[in-house]
Chains A and B, each alone.
Chain A
């Protein structure tokens, strides 16, 4: 062995020791953090209120996401611009005060130009935002950006706020695909796992349409991923855990008729998932939202039609998704006022710490609508 060979062998030994140490110390399989108990509702009487979020900035809005902040308030995000995919699309935010029952004027937190500068790469347009928290309680805003092409060219970025969304750190790119890191998008709620890592539901729509979860470590770096489905017809996974090991997931369906919401399940903390099966609920190739309400019923917000997004309903399941009953209709032909464009889509549903349930969704592409109600109203029958 000559000196050059010896150096080569030593280098191999050194880096592979590092790779083995990395493999042996990688985060082990984690468990879900079961939903926290919400407080008792202040009023037992059914309560239902709606309002449109402020929008003095843009002609078109879409894809709302929200989370609770201190004081029982809600901070929402969505994207808006001249139209979907336009270069002036930005991510906007607004805060809801339950005391005043009003939303603050919207303001942009991320523009294409800002993302481009912070990511140090060209960005053509922005897309879906999704908000969650990391183990330190920081607010994490994941958002889609596209450098070239349509939504199939998407990648996910992350920016973090340490002051409940008032100011934001520099955005950075999450790498989730080996093919130019394109075709990864977000829509579902990020889940905090028992070891402090995050499971971020994502989906791909380049050649195939399928779902995955990305595992993010404490520094919000992607350190693993798990495939939720495969093929060309399932996307926008939403995952709802009910115990440390058990969860159900729902996915938008983009395949052949009959058009139904897809369902997946895990019993080992998300390490393995069942193959997607069609539920009894229709799906017009549109996103759904779901939350496990305190006390057990699973709520699902969905477009209650196979071919359009002109109705939006809430379904309840008392057996964790095996059977459903449509409890309320939020939008539909018989429910004025109608939006200029009859599209009610991309619902985001959460239950706050007081027990109130909030649904935010795209209302006619021109506004984000907020519906807040009590569980008593939800379970009170058809509207």
Chain B
């Protein structure tokens, strides 16, 4: 197995674990049960079925997962298994806001409806790098450490060739986290516009 496959499968395994932990609402159970379920899930994910580990089936559909997806998956795992929060709600909201903005910039154009292709900027663009640097410095200044961590980890992973892609976008965003961010922010906006009446 190549290093890129190893990291890709690891990321998909983490997401699977987060989905299992969230679906089962593991935090309802005792610590021992939570840990046992987590261990069983991890083993099951990486045991070959039909010649492939289960995580590889998810990888076939999603591809390799971006750092924000992995950060949120890790946060969900930690929260459901240990009962502690990995990131402050303010940090998560800021990250999702940035991801949603990036998604609105990237996907409509990358799908080929215009001559402009922002995805191509992710290979090696001074302008794109500078824009990302400014955004990261603004986050650092505002004390939004999750964004700083995600960008630094994504850039380091891209430079290190952790995945098969050499495009920085693939480390910064994927459709899963993009949809999640847009839905969460959309739901939040609806909630603020139409607040529930207290009975």
Q: Which of B15-23, B27-35, B74-82, B152-160 contacts A (4 or more CB under 8 A)?
A: B152-160
> Taking beta carbons and an 8 Å cutoff, which residues of A are in contact with B?
4-5, 8-9, 11-12, 15-16, 18-20, 22-24, 26, 113, 116-117, 119-124, 147-148, 155, 170, 172-175, 177-181, 204, 206-210, 212, 221-227, 230-231
Residues A208 and B140 in contact, CB atoms below 8 Å apart: no
In the complex, the answer to whether B111 meets A117 with C-beta atoms within 8 Å is: no
Q: Which of A9, A26, A148, A181 is B123 in contact with, Cβ under 8 Å?
A: A26
Shortest CB–CB separation between residue B3 and chain A, in angstroms?
11
Residues in B whose Cβ lies below 8 Å from that of A20: 126, 129
Q: Which residues of B contact A206 (CB under 8 A)?
A: 111
B166 at the interface (CB under 8 A from A): yes
CB neighbours of B107 from chain A (8 A): 178-179
Interface centre among B123, B140, B168 (most CB of A within 10 A): B123
Known: A23-B125, A123-B60. A15 touches B155 (CB 8 A): yes
| B interface bracket (residues with beta carbon within 8 Å of A) | 35 or more
List 27 A-B pairs, Cβ < 8 Å: A5-B140, A8-B145, A8-B148, A12-B151, A12-B152, A18-B159, A19-B129, A19-B155, A117-B51, A120-B2, A121-B57, A122-B61, A123-B60, A155-B63, A172-B4, A175-B166, A175-B167, A178-B107, A179-B111, A179-B175, A181-B165, A204-B112, A207-B113, A208-B112, A225-B119, A227-B112, A227-B120
With A15-B159, A148-B61 as contacts: A221 and B56 at CB distance below 8 Å: no
* Nearest 6 CB-CB pairings of A with B: A122-B60, A208-B112, A26-B124, A147-B60, A175-B165, A120-B5
| Apart from A8-B148, A12-B151, A116-B56, 19 more pairs, CB < 8 Å | A8-B145, A12-B136, A12-B137, A12-B152, A15-B151, A15-B152, A19-B158, A20-B129, A22-B124, A116-B52, A120-B56, A121-B59, A147-B61, A148-B61, A174-B164, A180-B174, A207-B111, A221-B166, A227-B120
Within the complex, which residue of B2, B120, B140, B168 is in contact with A9, where a contact is CB–CB below 8 Å?
B140
B100 in the interface, Cβ–Cβ < 8 Å? no
Question: Considering only CB atoms, which chain A residue lies closest to B12 in the complex?
Answer: A121
Interchain CB contact (< 8 A) of B115 among A22, A170, A230: A230
B124→A180 contact, CB < 8 A: no
B143-187 interface (Cβ within 8 A of A):
145, 148, 151-152, 155-156, 158-159, 163-170, 173-175
Most B C-beta atoms less than 10 A away, residue of A175, A204, A222:
A175
Are A175 and B63 touching (Cβ within 8 A)? Answer: yes
Does B114 lie at the interface of the complex (its beta carbon under 8 Å from any beta carbon of A)?
A: yes
| Least distance between A168 CB and chain B CB atoms (Å) | 15
Tell me which residues across on chain B come within 8 A of A23, comparing CB atoms: 124-126, 129
Chain B binding site: helix, strand, loop or mixed by DSSP? Answer: helix
Digitize B31-59: 1 where CB-to-A-CB distance is under 8 Å, 0 elsewhere: 00000000000000000000110001101
Across the interface, which residues of B come within 8 angstroms of A224, CB to CB? Answer: 120, 123-124
How close is B192's CB to chain A, nearest CB, in angstroms? Answer: 30
A179, B110: Cβ atoms closer than 8 Å: yes
Inter-chain contact A180/B62, CB cutoff 8 Å: yes
> What residues on B are CB-neighbors of A178 within 8 Å?
106-107, 110, 119, 122, 167, 169-170, 173-175
CA distance A231 to B112 in the complex (A): 6
Answer whether A122 and B52 are a contact pair too, CB < 8 Å, given A177-B110, A231-B112.
yes
Docked pose: A18 CA to B125 CA in angstroms? 12
Given A9-B140, A173-B164, A223-B166, check contact A120 B52 (CB 8 Å).
yes
- Chain A residues, CB < 8 A from B57: 121-122
B113 — which chain A residues lie within 8 A by C-beta?
A: 207-208, 230-231
Q: How far is the CA of A207 from the CA of B107 in the complex (A)?
A: 11
Please determine whether A230 and B114 come into contact, CB atoms closer than 8 angstroms: yes
Determine whether the beta carbon of B156 is less than 8 Å from that of A15: yes
Return the contact of B159 from the options A22, A123, A209, A223 (Cβ within 8 A): A22
Least CB distance, A19 to chain B, in whole angstroms: 5
Q: Say whether B11 faces chain A, with CB atoms less than 8 Å apart.
A: no
Contact of B1 with A by CB under 8 A: yes
B108 CB → nearest A CB, Å: 10
Name the A residues within 8 Å of B114 (CB-CB): 230
A116 vs B164: C-alpha distance in the bound complex, in angstroms?
A: 16
> B9 at the A/B interface (Cβ < 8 Å)?
yes
Given A5-B140, A23-B125: A230 in contact with B156 (beta carbons within 8 A)? no
Cβ of B68 within 8 Å of any chain A Cβ, yes or no, is no
A212 CA to B107 CA, complexed, in Å: 16
Pick from B63, B136, B137 the residue with the most CB of A within 10 Å.
Answer: B63
The yes or no answer to B189 lying at the interface (CB within 8 A) is no
Give B114 Cβ to nearest chain A Cβ, in Å. 6
Shortest CB–CB separation between residue A186 and chain B, in angstroms? Answer: 16
Complex alpha-carbon distance, A226 and B173, angstroms:
21
User: With A and B bound together, what is the CA distance between A312 and B29 in angstroms?
Assistant: 68
A19 B159 Cβ-Cβ under 8 A: yes
Q: Which residue of B lies closest to A206 (CB)?
A: B111
Please state if A225 and B123 are interface contacts (CB–CB under 8 Å): yes
A101 to B110, CA, bound (A): 47
CA distance A172 to B155 in the complex (A): 22
Q: Does B133 make an interface contact (CB < 8 A)?
A: yes
B63 and A180 within 8 A (CB): yes
Contacts of A148 in B (CB 8 A): 60-61
